[in-house]
Every structure is written in C-alpha cells, then in structure tokens.
A = this chain, B = another copy of it.
Amino acid sequence: MEAHGNREGIREALPPVAANPGWVGCRCVVCGREYDTVYAGFVCADCGIDGILDAAYERAGDTAVRLKVEGGDIARGLWRFSSLLPVAPAAIHPAWAVGGTAPLPAPRLARHLGLHSLVIKDDTSLPSASLKDRAAAVAMARAHQLGLDHLACASTGNAAASLAVLASRGGFRSTIFVPAAAPRGKLAQLLLHGAHVIRVDGTYDQAFELSLVAIAKNNWYSRNCGHNPLLVEGKKTAALELAWDLTRGFTSNEDLPDVVLVPVGDGCIVSSTAKAFIELHALGLINRVPRVIGVQAAGASPLAAAWARCGGGQATMSGPAIRDAITPVVPDTIADSISVGVPRNRVKAWRYVAATGGAFIATPDAAIIRTIVDLASRAGVFAEPSGAAGMAGALAAREQGLIGDRDRVAVLVTGHGLKDPGAALGACAMPEPVPPLG
C-alpha cells in the first residue's frame, strides 16, 4: 500500500500558518495556573493529566469586527473564525478547509417530539463523516506552524478516522495507537487512508499511554483531544457556524437557539459548544448565551450522575471539587464514541456547561435507537448512536423542565450512521414480498 511513500513537495506547499496574535495562552482548569502560547506541554505542569488547559483570547475591539466580516466567507471553511482559533493560515488549503455544514430545520421531527422548533447541525457530511474533522484540521495547521509533519493519537473511532483522512489530504504522516481488540473494520479504514496503525496488546488506556511516550520521543504532534487543549478550539467552529447562520451573520438574535443539545463522552465537544457561545456573547455578537445541555448515554453517565448529586450548587464549585465529585464508572452503551467511564475534559465541560445555565442528563440506549429512526425518517439525517445521543436527550430534557414550551432547540449530530449501522438497521421490519406483474 506504500502508505508512507514519497510526500515531498506536498506539505511544504501548504500555506504558512501563524499563531493568532489574539490568542494569549492557556489556563489550567483545575488550579488556574496560566501558560503562554509557547508552552510546549499540553497539560498543567502542576496538576498532570487532570490539569486540562483552556485557551483564552484577547478581547480586542477588532476581533468582533473581523468575525463579522470574515464569517461570511464560507469558502474558508472553519478558518473564517480564525480570530477565535489559536492559529491562522495565511491562505486556505483544501486539505484543511473543512466545515461549513448548513443548519437543517427539522419541523417534522420538532412536531413529533413536541418541540417549538428544531434545527440540526449535521456534521455527518464532513470528510471523515464526523465533527472530529474540525479538531484534526486545527491540529494539522498547528503542527505545520510548529514545523512538524507527523501527527499521532490513540483512538479507534472518529478521532482516528479524522486524522487519517485529513493527514492523507494534506500529505502529513499519521500514527494511530489502538487496542489490539479494536474492530478490524475500523482499523482497516485507518490503514486504507495510509495511517501507520500500532496495535497495542492491552486496553485503550495502555494504547493512550504508549502514544504519549511515542509522541514525546519522536517529536510528533499530538491529536489526542483528551489532553491537547487546542483541539477543543477547532470543535468550537460547529457552534460558531450555527450561531452565524441562525443570526444571519450576527445581525439578528431572533432565531438564536435557547437550548443546544450535545452528546458527551470525554466532554470536548460540549465544552467547545458552550465556549463558542460564551465567547461570542462576550464580544457582543450575540445578545444571550443558549443553555448547553450535555447528553450522556445512561450506561456511561458519570457527569450526569454527579451533576444530579450536586443539585443546585454546580455553578459555584472549584476545579478540584468538580474533579472529585465525578465518580468513574465502567461504561456500557451501544454508543461507542461516548462510551467513556472517566471523561478527560470533565472539569472543563462542567465549568462551561454551568456557565451557560445548562445541565448534564442521561439517555438510555433504547431512546438512542428510537432517535436514530426518528432522525432518519423525519429529518433525513442518518446518525451513528453517539451522533444521535444529543437529540435523544430532548425528551428527558423536556420532562425535567430543561426545555420549555417556547424554546428554540438546536442539536449537534456528530457522526454518520454508515459508520456503525448495525443497531439501527436491526430495528427495521422487512416488508413481505409481492408478486411481479403478469
């Protein structure tokens, strides 16, 4: 397959990338220690792997102006929002110009679920068929800025596929660490895209540990969302696009959602969604922050369980208190991309969701399967189980009073059903054959 064949002249031809001068650095979500933009580590030097960092931006007056002007240029993909990203390419190369998925109104599904209105942010049409391409695009641009041509991660799922696909497009090398027991179909897809796949004879956590050692030793760039804080920045662009589209370029708040539902595994996507709205609000581009509701599968819901236990006091808890409140679980759900027992971005996710006035809730697998059918038959969107989990939380959120009668709801659908069609297709009853003519 010559996956590592001659790549000269490809990556080198990519446009130069600079750090966004408005990105001022990162702060540890647990202890608050600050790091500047040249800090070479990914997590807090004091807090270790729990010390996930959080990127911050200058609130210069012209950031809002730039976002309003550049937000309309959808040919730039997610880079039209580079004022709120850590890096900014000088010109957009198609290898990393992902994004620009249109919001899809779903009136039939809204009526079925008893929602006032419903818009789907359908990221299933991105190159690797999941929202994770937004993180991979930023990872590649950042690696290019740092002069690195090799990226690595530990994953068997959407993160790995997004790295393999975009690295192939951009001429980067990619190495992916997987537990040896990972499904062969998923591994084969990574191999097909030219990734170097290392099967580790152990658990996912052991594959992750080995990836960290190999990344440090070989000076690769880490596309592990669980510790690289800049990837969450890339994932923000789904919500930035949604806000841009629904406010007609930040000119009208009328159709801005009141509630946004997001599936939660490690907590990266829910963090980024909440963060996007909070940053736009701080810049005066939207007049309120939608409540972000993180939806976990009931069989992997440590955040939802801890949130319920802390009833009422969630918004005022310190980083260490949040970390300690969340009890690890042994995950058991059909939604494999969010089958996480210890969410690595748990403190960041909790903080941001609380800051929007949102919540974490859980939804059973049966509701996820029903929702896949509803999304397909009433909105024309085929989601994988984890991709449908946000939508599946709508009924529980209604029952708990988290969604009101007049609330405008938006939902992120994060991964395509063709990636994992088994459960959904099993729910379909075959019709009996009829005779032909004559």
Task: Tell whether, in the assembled complex, residue B430 and residue A193 are in contact, meaning their CB atoms are under 8 Å apart.
Answer: no
| A386 CB, min distance to chain B CBs, angstroms | 16
Q: Is A74 an interface residue (CB 8 A)?
A: yes
| A302 CB, min distance to chain B CBs, angstroms | 25
A191-B429, A206-B436 given; name 12 further pairs at CB < 8 Å: A10-B107, A108-B171, A127-B380, A129-B418, A187-B430, A188-B426, A192-B376, A192-B377, A192-B417, A198-B434, A207-B436, A209-B437
Q: Per a CB cutoff under 8 Å, which of B9, B112, B166, B437 touches A210? A: B437
Task: Tell whether, in the assembled complex, residue A180 and residue B382 are in contact, meaning their CB atoms are under 8 Å apart.
Answer: no
Task: Tell whether, in the assembled complex, residue B425 and residue A376 are in contact, meaning their CB atoms are under 8 Å apart.
Answer: no
Expressed in whole angstroms, the Cα–Cα distance for A418 and B3 within the complex equals 20
| Binary B-proximity of A276-299 (CB < 8 A = 1, otherwise 0) | 000000000000000000000000
Size of the chain A interface, CB-CB below 8 angstroms: 82
Q: Is A194 an interface residue (CB 8 A)?
A: yes
Q: Is A407 an interface residue (CB 8 A)?
A: no
Q: Per a CB cutoff under 8 Å, which of B108, B168, B209, B379 touches A379? A: B168
Q: Is A197 an interface residue (CB 8 A)?
A: yes
Task: Tell whether, in the assembled complex, residue B209 and residue A165 are in contact, meaning their CB atoms are under 8 Å apart.
Answer: no
| A118 CB, min distance to chain B CBs, angstroms | 13
Expressed in whole angstroms, the Cα–Cα distance for A194 and B295 within the complex equals 26
| A429 CB, min distance to chain B CBs, angstroms | 8
Q: Which residues of B contact A129 (CB under 8 A)?
A: 416, 418
Task: Tell whether, in the assembled complex, residue A430 and residue B194 are in contact, meaning their CB atoms are under 8 Å apart.
Answer: no
Task: Tell whether, in the assembled complex, residue A189 and residue B126 are in contact, meaning their CB atoms are under 8 Å apart.
Answer: no
Expressed in whole angstroms, the Cα–Cα distance for A411 and B136 within the complex equals 26
Q: Is A38 an interface residue (CB 8 A)?
A: no
Q: Per a CB cutoff under 8 Å, which of B94, B105, B185, B202 touches A94? A: B105
Task: Tell whether, in the assembled complex, residue B168 and residue A433 are in contact, meaning their CB atoms are under 8 Å apart.
Answer: no
| A272 CB, min distance to chain B CBs, angstroms | 22
Q: Is A169 an interface residue (CB 8 A)?
A: yes
Q: Is A63 an interface residue (CB 8 A)?
A: no
Q: Per a CB cutoff under 8 Å, which of B126, B165, B206, B418 touches A437? A: B206
Q: Which residues of B contact A5 (CB under 8 A)?
A: 112, 378
Expressed in whole angstroms, the Cα–Cα distance for A200 and B431 within the complex equals 10
| A418 CB, min distance to chain B CBs, angstroms | 4
Pairs across A and B, CB under 8 Å, 14 listed = A125-B127, A129-B416, A185-B421, A191-B429, A192-B424, A192-B425, A193-B382, A199-B433, A200-B433, A200-B434, A201-B435, A209-B436, A210-B437, A213-B437
Given contacts A210-B437, A436-B202, contact A166 B74 (CB under 8 A): no
Task: Tell whether, in the assembled complex, residue B380 and residue A165 are in contact, meaning their CB atoms are under 8 Å apart.
Answer: yes
Q: Which residues of B contact A418 (CB under 8 A)?
A: 129, 416, 418-419
Expressed in whole angstroms, the Cα–Cα distance for A416 and B125 within the complex equals 11
